[in-house]
């Protein structure tokens, strides 16, 4: 049995879910592709919003492109190894 793969994760986000308007710009702007829009869950205003997989690099592409200032971006002092990642 092979061990579960881990993903080097250098950064993470705080996502202001209710500020999001579901525009999807962050999804395509993310270089490691670790942002995924919800499919059925919506925020209090009815918009889908992004969720984060392991593997964030803290590059700020999402926060720079987001028109609604949804993201706070953090960079870990020491990269973490987290389970899972983009499929």
Partner 1 sequence: MTGFVPTDRPPAAPARLVDDFTPALIDVGAHHLCPGCGEPVAMRSALEAIDELGLTRRAIAVFGIGCYTAFSNNLDVEVLQALHGRAPSVATGVKRARPDAIVFTVQGDGDMVSEGLQEVLHTAARGESVTCIMLNNGVFGETGGHMSAATVVGQRTKTSLEGRDPVLHGRPILLASLLAHVDGAAYVARGLVNSAGNVARTKKMLLRAFEAQERRAGFSFVEILTMCPTGWFIETEEAPVYLEDNLAAVHTPGVLKDEVDR
At 85, which helix (H) or strand (E)?
none
| Alpha carbon distance 40, 72 (integer Å) | 24
User: In the structure encoding, which two tokens stand for residue 75, read together?
Assistant: 């960079």
- Work out whether 83 is an interface residue with partner 1 (CB under 8 A): yes
SS3 11: strand
Report the site for partner 1 in 7-66 (rule: CB under 8 A): 9, 11-17, 19, 21-25, 27-29, 36, 47, 51-54, 56, 58-66
Which residue matches tokens 């592409």?
61
Q: Give the three-class secondary structure for 28.
A: helix
Selected binder of partner 1 within 6, 42, 43, 84 (CB under 8 A): 84
Considering the complex, what minimum distance in angstroms separates the CB of residue 39 from partner 1?
Answer: 11
Please report, as ranges, the residues that interact with partner 1 according to CB under 8 A. Answer: 9, 11-17, 19, 21-25, 27-29, 36, 47, 51-54, 56, 58-78, 80, 82-85
């Amino acid at each position: 049995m092979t061990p579960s793969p881990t993903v080097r994760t250098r950064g993470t986000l705080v996502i202001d879910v209710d500020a999001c308007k579901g525009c999807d710009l962050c999804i395509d702007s993310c270089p490691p592709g670790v942002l995924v829009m919800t499919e059925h869950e919506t925020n209090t205003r009815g918009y889908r919003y992004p969720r984060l997989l392991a593997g964030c690099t803290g590059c700020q592409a999402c926060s720079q492109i987001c028109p609604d200032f949804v993201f706070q971006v953090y960079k870990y002092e020491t990269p973490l190894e987290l389970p899972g990642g983009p499929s």
